[in-house]
């Protein structure tokens, strides 16, 4: 048990030196340790709760998309959409010309007297 408390004191000293508080007085060190213990306890409780939730969730069926697969598909969709947007901007004037030509052709066919 003494080894674990020595190790925790050593880790706490390393943590305090990492955040630049190695030479604080004992009162501040005690309050900081209490706050860190509260954070650790809250983290453990949330982790245990998430583990309970994960065990109660139904297992994923084969063939269902995973979250990673969904992310890949979403990235691919965004790339395709961006590619289509670039093409649409590049060929916009051609499209407008084709539509105008088609409309004029239809209009001339509909009104033969206007030739």
Q: With H, G, I as helix, E, B as strand and everything else as coil, classify residue 52.
A: helix
Q: Which one has a higher pLDDT value, 84 or 22?
A: 84
Largest CA distance in the chain: 106
pTM of the model: 0.40
Q: Is residue 87 part of a domain?
A: yes
What is the tally of structural domains in the chain? 2
Residue 1 banded pLDDT, cuts 50, 70, 90: very low
Same structural domain, 72 and 43: no
Same structural domain, 11 and 34: yes
Same structural domain, 12 and 50: yes
Q: Can you give the residue range of the structural domain that contains 8? A: 2-56
Same structural domain, 80 and 106: yes
Of the three residues 56, 81, 102, the one that is the final residue of a domain is 56
CA distance 67 to 73: 10
Q: Is the pLDDT of residue 103 over 60?
A: yes
Q: Is residue 74 part of a domain?
A: yes
């Amino acid at each position: 048990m003494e080894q674990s408390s020595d190790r925790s004191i050593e880790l706490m000293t390393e943590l305090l030196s990492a955040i630049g508080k190695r030479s604080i007085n004992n009162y501040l060190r005690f309050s900081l340790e209490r706050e860190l213990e509260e954070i650790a306890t809250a983290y453990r409780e949330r982790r245990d709760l998430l583990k309970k939730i994960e065990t109660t969730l139904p297992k994923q069926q084969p063939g269902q998309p995973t979250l990673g697969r969904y992310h890949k598909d979403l990235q691919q969709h965004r790339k395709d959409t961006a590619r289509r947007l670039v093409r649409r901007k590049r060929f916009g004037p051609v499209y407008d010309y084709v539509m105008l030509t088609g409309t004029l052709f239809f209009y001339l066919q509909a009104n033969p007297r206007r030739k």
